[in-house]
Amino acid sequence: MRIPARKLRPLLALFAGVAGAALVYAAIPAIPPATSSAGAEPLPRRAPADPAALREAYAYLPAQTRFDAFVAVHQGRELARWGDADLPINTHSVRKSLLSALYGIAIDKGYLRLDQTLAELGIDDRVVPLTAQEKRATVRDLLMSRSGIYIQAAGEARGMKDSRPRRGAHRPGEFFYYNNWDFNVLGTIFERRTGLSIGDAFERWIARPTGMTGFRAAHVIYEQPGYTEHRQFVIFLSAADLARFGMLYADRGRWGGVQVVPQAWVERSTRACSPVADRDPFDAYGYLWWVDRDADTVWADGWGGQFLIVDPRRRLALVSRNDTGRSRLQLGWFVLFDGDGWRSHHQHLHQLMIRAAGAAPQSDAPPRAGPGRNAEPRLAAADPAC
């Protein structure tokens, strides 16, 4: 049946209007524009001990990787910078390691204890109520991703959904499963117990003390689906500011002579608590940190190519970032036309930065402790020191 043109035109106009409105909505930035923090100063530069290694890295980045930004910091000085290092970028799962630092500070301030259970904290999920067994999970279990709670969570990747155990299959504390429900609930608990938003806490407790140049509390946003009570927090942070965070951990929580994150927490949270398999190069998980015992490093690792290596024995931190966008439209463009980053590229850059810095391991940095690569994966009990 042929529709008369006079009737078709209003329909086309309506469709175009709806499509245009949807496009405008999708293009709205999720965070305000970055501005320099008052009084914040860039890190001093460090001359490379091996300039050839630095030149090799700068040639390797555009030729072999899809990264949009790269920063390396050695002994508190900027060793390398490439790309748009000051652009706030979605950290994706790197957010979890940032939250780990906030937990260390909050526990030190007395807001929380590791052995508090969900029942004690009044935590449930109104959409899918928890069982009595699930409510026995502790803050420690959540930090190690061992809650034993296997229900749908905000921000889950396909692999998380496909590998999620059957509900009730494991008791709290006995099984490692990389679980967004645990991570999101940690955000809920943190905000309820401290009375601070994650953005406010990160700005006050970490960004300001370390002199981060671009972070604002408004750079933490939330996503709330209808199938869970607990929203996902999303943190935008530049490569330069993430490198400062990495250097903070490489120096065991100290910055400029001030203990920003308790040293005991830095050491405890980066231990190899839960052996893991099929996560090369990682062989274990700590408190929201990935551990590579072979290289004696810890990683914060996020979807789309968000990588931070902390090398405490060399007082070295390096960051590679892919810009996945600040709006739904930009994120869709990234998914369609850009590629994920490769950990192997970041590992290669790590080796180049070791050469560029002339960085022999620091003799006073203790070797990383915990179960190693040969430990039984996934089912091993947590290291008692965790």
The answer to the question of residue 110 being in a domain is: yes
Element (H or E) spanning 30, and its range?
none
How far apart are the C-alpha atoms of 209 and 261, rounded to whole Å?
10
Q: Identify whether the C-beta of residue 234 lies closer than 8 Å to the C-beta of residue 88.
A: no
Q: Identify whether the C-beta of residue 196 lies closer than 8 Å to the C-beta of residue 177.
A: no
> Which residues span the domain enclosing 205?
43-357
The answer to the question of residue 306 being in a domain is: yes
How far apart are the C-alpha atoms of 368 and 245, rounded to whole Å?
19
How far apart are the C-alpha atoms of 194 and 183, rounded to whole Å?
17
Q: Identify whether the C-beta of residue 151 lies closer than 8 Å to the C-beta of residue 167.
A: yes
Q: Which amino acid is at 243?
A: A
Q: pLDDT tens digit string along 60-94?
A: 999 999 999 999 999 999 999 999 999 999 999 99
CATH of the domain at 134: 3.40.710.10
Query: Which residue is associated with the tokens 């274990």?
Result: 284
Per the structure, the count of domains in the chain is 1
Q: pLDDT tens digit string along 23-42?
A: 333 444 566 676 655 557 88
Q: What is the pTM of this model?
A: 0.87
The answer to the question of residue 125 being in a domain is: yes
Buried b / exposed e over 259-291, threshold 16 CB at 10 Å, is ebbbeebbbbbbbbbbbbeebebbbbbbbbbbb
- Those residues of the chain that have pLDDT short of 50 are 11-28, 366-367, 369-381
The answer to the question of residue 29 being in a domain is: no
Quote the radius of gyration of the chain (alpha carbons, Å). 22
Of 284, 294, 308, 316, the residue nearest 367 (C-alpha):
294
Of 286, 263, 274, the residue nearest 104 (C-alpha):
263
Please tell me the predicted confidence (pLDDT) of residue 36.
58
How far apart are the C-alpha atoms of 167 and 313, rounded to whole Å?
41
First to last CA, the chain: 71
The answer to the question of residue 81 being in a domain is: yes
Please tell me the predicted confidence (pLDDT) of residue 382.
52
Q: Strands, E, within the chain: which ranges?
A: 69-74, 77-83, 89-90, 220-223, 232-237, 254-255, 258-259, 274-275, 284-285, 290-292, 297-302, 306-311, 316-321
Q: Identify whether the C-beta of residue 167 lies closer than 8 Å to the C-beta of residue 134.
A: no
Distances (CA, A) of 318 to 56, 121, 149: 16, 37, 34
The answer to the question of residue 19 being in a domain is: no
Of 310, 346, 304, 294, the residue nearest 325 (C-alpha):
304
Please tell me the predicted confidence (pLDDT) of residue 159.
86
The answer to the question of residue 211 being in a domain is: yes
The answer to the question of residue 267 being in a domain is: yes
